[in-house]
A and B are shown apart, each in its own frame.
Chain A
């Protein structure tokens, strides 16, 4: 039955609209973006299992580590087998993660939650994240930044959907649960039904993507598209580089550093956003920013994080990939410096600076597949993207470590002021400077890494070549 999901059975018929592909990709990313909404039921899980914050936090950490690992390891398999099979496998793992997790909650076996949501769900996350990327780039050779920006915007939007939905579902399943009260926790039965509902619901929505996704026919080009015009831009190649060769190039590792630095800086603020705005406006031990207003600030950051993915990535199609990263990193350095020096002067100024910084954070994620396409071609861009995402996993550890490390040395939570954040913010300026220099050093990939030229090879032949080499057909 799985052969119906093979790449060769998903080649688009003539006249198939390429605008069906972005919603297919969004259907996947909107679902897996739920991983950033786990804090909604964290306290309920702690109360249900009668355990520590760390023991529950590990579930999220396992999922993110598995995301990076599975994207890196399964990237070539995704390229060879096509987006439909990859999306289907991702949906199975993601839904199974919720269902096994619900079994763990029902039986009070925490290890089943680690195995389910963490391990199985994390594999679904990694495969799902990269599954539509190379297909979108092949359908939109004229606007790869816009296409991948749309999909990866969905990952940011997924948390915005899952957070309120989870709160409303928990209230529905447990009438005693009050989502507006931070101390209120939902019952174990409500958590079980939440996980079952999310697992089944997400599986159905992801099937929508599986049903609609197609790969373009060999030699297909959008009307009026001239590849020569795209290739004439700096750093854009018409050659192709395999994933195995890409990791041997200097440019791949420079781009790894660029992504690592951009994500490290952004994640440092994102992770600390709510206490940070309260601390910046603390006078005489009391903050002028309420807990509810701080929650509103986090919501605003989510909106800018999501919008930045689409807006900046689309802009990169016009101004180029290297210039847009110079903007993210260079202007980011100025904004971080302003945040450290004058951020405490007015709430509006603080919010404005943080929102623009977070839009650059989202933009960095969304633009990187198009940057990879420019440097390494479309041949195995999904697999190369998967390997590059290990920078995300590493930054997920480094960003919070830097911020929390400095803040721990400054005093107790709830007593900090704007001055306590300066060492961490200036460190982030340094991190961004490293990324800025790495981006300047990116060069076209030397010819010795290029694949043998095949004038008849179209997008589908690329995939067949991958399949033959990897023996996965």
Chain B
């Protein structure tokens, strides 16, 4: 087993969390826009 490089792993961590955050953020933002109609309609 090889040791994991610090910089490589940090980049991987950033990219991984960024991808899922963008996806989840898109879903949450779109749902909040829809949910706002409950209070504005």
Contact = CB atoms under 8 A, between A and B. Distances in A.
Interface residues of B, number: 27
Interface residues of A, number: 42
6 contacts: A15-B9, A20-B13, A157-B27, A158-B27, A164-B30, A302-B31
A154 B16 CA distance: 14
Contacts of A236: none
Main secondary structure of the interface of B (DSSP, over half): helix
Contacts of B36: 296
Given A154-B20, A161-B27, A293-B37, 19 more contacts: A13-B2, A13-B3, A14-B1, A14-B4, A15-B3, A15-B4, A17-B13, A19-B13, A20-B13, A26-B20, A164-B26, A212-B16, A290-B41, A293-B39, A295-B34, A297-B38, A300-B35, A302-B31, A351-B38
Interface string B9-29: 100110011011001101110
B26 A161 contact: yes
Contacts, number: 105
A12 B9 CA distance: 12
B37 A26 contact: no
A208 interface: yes
Contacts of A235: none
B9 to A, nearest CB: 6
Given A13-B2, A296-B39, A20 B27 contact: no
A424 to B, nearest CB: 23
Interface of A: 11-17, 19-20, 23-24, 26-27, 30, 154, 157-165, 205, 208, 212, 217, 290, 292-300, 302-303, 306, 351
A383 B13 CA distance: 29
Nearest to A302: B31
Given A23-B19, A303-B31, A303-B32, A296 B13 contact: no
Contacts of B38: 293-294, 296-297, 299-300, 351
Contacts of A24: 16
